[in-house]
Amino acid sequence: MNRKMISLLLGVLLVLSIASMATAMGDGNARKGKFLYRKHCRTCHGDSASDLSPNSKTQAGWTATFSDTSKIQCSPDWNGVSEKDLNDIFTYLHDFAKDSPTPAKCS
Amino acid sequence: MAKDNMKLSRRDFFKASGLIAAAAAGSVPVLGGLEPSLAHAAQSSGEWSSAYSVCDMCFNKCGCIARVQDGVVKKLDPNPKFIKSRGMLCARGNAGVAQLYDPDRLKYPLLRKGARGEGKWQRIPWDEALDLMAEKMQDIRKKYTSCGHLFSAGADLQSQFVGRFAEVYGSYNVTSHESLCLLSGSRAFLDTFGEVPFADVLNSKYIIMAGANRFEALVTPDSIDLMTAMQKGTKLVVLDPRYTKTAALANEWYPIRPGTDMAFMLALAHVIINEKLYNETWIQDKTYGIDQLREHVQKYDPRFAAEECGIPAEDIARIARELAAAAPAAMIYPGRRTSDYKNSTQIRRSFAIVNALLSNWDQPGGLLAAREVGLKGVPYDAPWYDDNPDDRVDAHKVPMMFEHDGSFVLTRDAVLSGKPYPIKGWFVYKTNPLGTAPNRAKTIEMANAMEFMTVVDVAMSDTAWMADLVLPAPSSLERQDPASGLQGSVACACVVQRDAVVPAMYESRPVFDILKSVAGKLELGEYFDFTIEEYREKQLRGLPNAANALAEDGVYYNPSKVYGIYEDRVYKTLSKKIELYNSRYEGMGVDPMPVYSPPSKVPKNRFRMVVGRSAMVTQTSSQNNAVLHQLTGPNTLWLNTASAKNLGIQPGDTVEVASSVGRGELKVEITDGIREDTVYMLSGFGALSPQLSLIFGEGASMSAVLQEGYDEICGNAALHETIVSVTRKVAS
């Protein structure tokens, strides 16, 4: 395989990996995410853990936090939360972040 | 005169009661509930009691003290400790007693018996009313999903329960009054500064007020602070096509051509930037996009703006220099109602950008960030409904709608088209879109499209008149309300709450009780499993001193920071700076900086219609008040002297004002205090509901005449796009 071909393949792989990262987080169902956030996250956050709402971070902040969910302190406790549900939760937090077009109000 | 009028209104009341009785199928007319009013004239014990309350005559929520004698509220006094209103209560607030004892109030649940809007009602017992409401809500949910039911609520302390009910019931479709009022301004300032500011009018040295009328459309503390500031030498420049009372008291008034404010603001930016009249260090440090803005405003020089606005170029340049010299204690006043034009967000963005150039953010005399109030939310875990559609019915029509407020105009279109999905149920609490939304005929069609419509209100509003089920709510003096956090600009950040001053009259019930009962019937009782008292305790959990302060003073103040809030805070924008150039807009295909386009030309002998408020009444909600009605109404059509001459219209004539969607008849007020190409009428009046006996058929309703249009960025209504004809109907 010549060098040009390898570069091309690497390029394609890079694009695919970026695309898969993008589809992994975002474009979920924010409304479902709100329900799931309340169900899975708010049981601790706002009670025994830090008070947290979409308004706690910027959109970039949520994207950074969810870029590697294994680094989120409470992730070992997320039993039974599917990837799809996690993406919905991320979408909710991101879409109503403090610098979003509609920052969340408390509820 | 007052006495005579009160007698007259009672006669009207008996007459109206008789009509209701005649129309009621099998019900007995009940004239009870007049007792408290009659007690007014009875021998009194001479003993008084006093209780704190919160005024409900407009949205400002000023503190007041009710003076009660023999179970009757005799007088409302200001709460001297309530500094948001500077210890005052306005004339309209004083008339709150007449609202409480208004003989036109709704007294018991009414079920429509005739055609919608025909006015045939049957009195029914509460049990039946609540069963019916629950049954219909369940039916609609089964047939159309939960999103097939719309919920609309006004700016009331109990409106949060309507939102809560809608969410647990499963509907995304909630509209507030705000999409007929202030959303364009909120959008613009949020998209510039990352939050919606409050104006430090009191400490400002130079204020430009465009499209706002603060000495008549009262906002506390701004209206009072503006007067105080002017007494200390603050300069006020007013741009308004009409010689308002604010214009009359201003240092300078310019009758600007309606719809051209952006040209004026961009010209101010042009002068301030080109003459380097801004704080360069501050702008570099705090803002994003000064280079793009510099280039952008080059074409908008004062001569350009002069042509558009009808204001001399030398005055525009001078005002820019004076404004910049007073900075940072100088401002373009942000205003409140901004539902004017299709590009109102961009117009208000130009206001926000000039403020940014004045470096007035978070500074004395400038624009202030929201202060910490400390009131907590009361969380709940709403259920999830898999069968619901993906989004609101008004979604994806504009790029940046506020999720919590929606767009009434767009929602109405969706209801009428049945797309993207049908909405067939409507619950309305203390808001009156038939009197406030443009194109009333279309709102009537919207009501006609409903299978079931419930309205909860204190009086039979025009919207209630169109409902299937009308439920009487107590006035603010008869009920307990949740705590509410208020932003009082430089004056305060405070918490208020209400307790009943007198028991609820007639059969009225608070909307909280109604929703709690219906939630129970829909197996949603767990979401309303609390009392207002318990709810307030949760709201106040972070403020240990608040409950005592509320009991002792009627208000709690959080001594939070006023200025310098952003010293250690990042701006909530994409660039983390004040956005002269909006990077999100760019990504969405929206002009990242305001691009001026002239308003539509007004043909000869036609007029642009503008609307506004007075200090005495708040749209339709207090116009039927017996005291205020003596001072205001019916509304008139302001028409320029020369225009009237052209049309052969004489003082005192009745004229027809007509647009492509509707018409109204009212008396003309010929004046030099309005431009030749513009007419004005006060909002409200022209009521359709005969149960608003003082204003029924009196004057003309703006909602009947205004064409619908909406802000193309946020979906707020656009009320000043309508061109009308004016015709003499009846000679004086």
Q: Please, what are the averages of pLDDT over each run of 10 residues along chain B (732 residues)?
A: 36 37 33 40 76 96 97 97 97 95 97 96 98 98 98 96 98 96 98 97 98 96 98 98 98 98 98 98 98 98 98 98 98 97 98 98 98 93 96 97 96 98 98 97 98 98 98 98 97 97 98 98 98 97 96 96 94 96 96 97 96 90 93 95 97 97 97 98 96 95 97 98 95 71
Specify if A8 maps to a domain. Answer: yes
Specify if A102 maps to a domain. Answer: no
Q: Average pLDDT of chain B?
A: 93
Specify if B644 maps to a domain. Answer: yes
Contact A107 B584 (CB under 8 A): no
- E strand or H helix at B448: helix B440-448
In this structure, what token pair is assigned to residue B550?
């509320």
- Name B611's Cβ contacts closer than 8 Å, sequence gap at least 6: B680, B681, B682, B683, B702, B706, B719, B720
Q: ipTM, 2 decimals? A: 0.84
Specify if A13 maps to a domain. Answer: yes
In this structure, what token pair is assigned to residue B562?
């006023």
Q: What is the pLDDT of residue A10?
A: 52
One domain, residues B254 and B339: yes
Domain count within chain B: 4
Specify if A105 maps to a domain. Answer: no
Cα B99 to the center of its chain, rounded Å: 19
Q: What is the pLDDT of residue B568?
A: 87
In this structure, what token pair is assigned to residue B434?
């038939």
CA nearest neighbour of B481 among B527, B529, B533: B533
Of A46, A98, A102, the CB nearest to B402: A102
For the entire predicted model, the pTM comes to 0.91
Specify if B494 maps to a domain. Answer: no
One domain, residues B330 and B209: yes
One domain, residues B404 and B454: yes
One domain, residues B246 and B327: yes
Q: What is the pLDDT of residue A105?
A: 79
Q: How confident is the model at residue A49 (pLDDT cuts 50, 70, 90)?
A: confident
One domain, residues B418 and B298: no
Q: What is the pLDDT of residue B730?
A: 79
Of B164, B390, B404, the CB nearest to A105: B404
Query: What does the pLDDT look like over B479-492, one tens digit per residue?
Result: 999 999 999 999 99
Distance between start and end Cα atoms, chain A: 59
One domain, residues B149 and B255: no
Q: How confident is the model at residue A21 (pLDDT cuts 50, 70, 90)?
A: very low
Q: How confident is the model at residue A3 (pLDDT cuts 50, 70, 90)?
A: low
CA nearest neighbour of B615 among B48, B93, B42: B93
Write out the residue range of the structural domain in which residue B666 sits: 607-730
Q: Which amino acid, residue A72?
A: I
Q: How confident is the model at residue A80 (pLDDT cuts 50, 70, 90)?
A: confident
One domain, residues B50 and B134: no
- E strand or H helix at B551: helix B546-553
Contact A105 B167 (CB under 8 A): no
Specify if A100 maps to a domain. Answer: no
Q: What is the pLDDT of residue A77?
A: 86
Specify if A104 maps to a domain. Answer: no
One domain, residues B230 and B274: yes
One domain, residues B523 and B441: yes
One domain, residues B242 and B310: yes
Contact B381 A38 (CB under 8 A): yes
Q: Do the strands B469-472 and B481-488 form a parallel or antiparallel pair, or are they unpaired?
A: unpaired
Domain count within chain A: 1
Name every chain A residue with its beta carbon within 8 A of the beta carbon of B401. 102
Q: Cβ(B264)–Cβ(B256) under 8 Å?
A: yes
User: Where residue B57 sits, what CATH number does that domain have?
Assistant: 2.20.25.90
Q: Which amino acid, residue B444?
A: I
Closest-CA distance of chain A to residue B343, Å = 17
Closest-CA distance of chain A to residue B269, Å = 26
Q: How confident is the model at residue A4 (pLDDT cuts 50, 70, 90)?
A: low
Closest-CA distance of chain A to residue B429, Å = 20
Q: Cβ(B132)–Cβ(B533) under 8 Å?
A: no
One domain, residues B464 and B581: no
Q: What is the pLDDT of residue A20?
A: 40
Name every chain B residue with its beta carbon within 8 A of the beta carbon of A107. 163-164, 167, 377, 379-380
Specify if B308 maps to a domain. Answer: yes
pLDDT at A9 over 60: no
Q: What is the pLDDT of residue A78?
A: 87
By the 10 Å C-beta count (0-12 exposed, 13-18 middle, 19+ buried), B54 is classed as buried
- CA dist B437 and B450 (Å) reads 18
Name every chain B residue with its beta carbon within 8 A of the beta carbon of A102. 401-404
Q: Is B452 helix (H, G, I), strand (E, B) or coil?
A: strand
Write out the residue range of the structural domain in which residue A35 sits: 3-95
Which contacts of B14-21 are long-range, i.e. CB under 8 A and separated by 24 or more positions?
B15/B693, B16/B103, B16/B104, B16/B690, B16/B691, B16/B693, B19/B690, B20/B121, B20/B691
In this structure, what token pair is assigned to residue B556?
């709690």
Using a pLDDT cut of 90, give the percent of chain B over it. 92
Q: Count other C-beta atoms under 10 Å from residue B49's C-beta.
A: 11
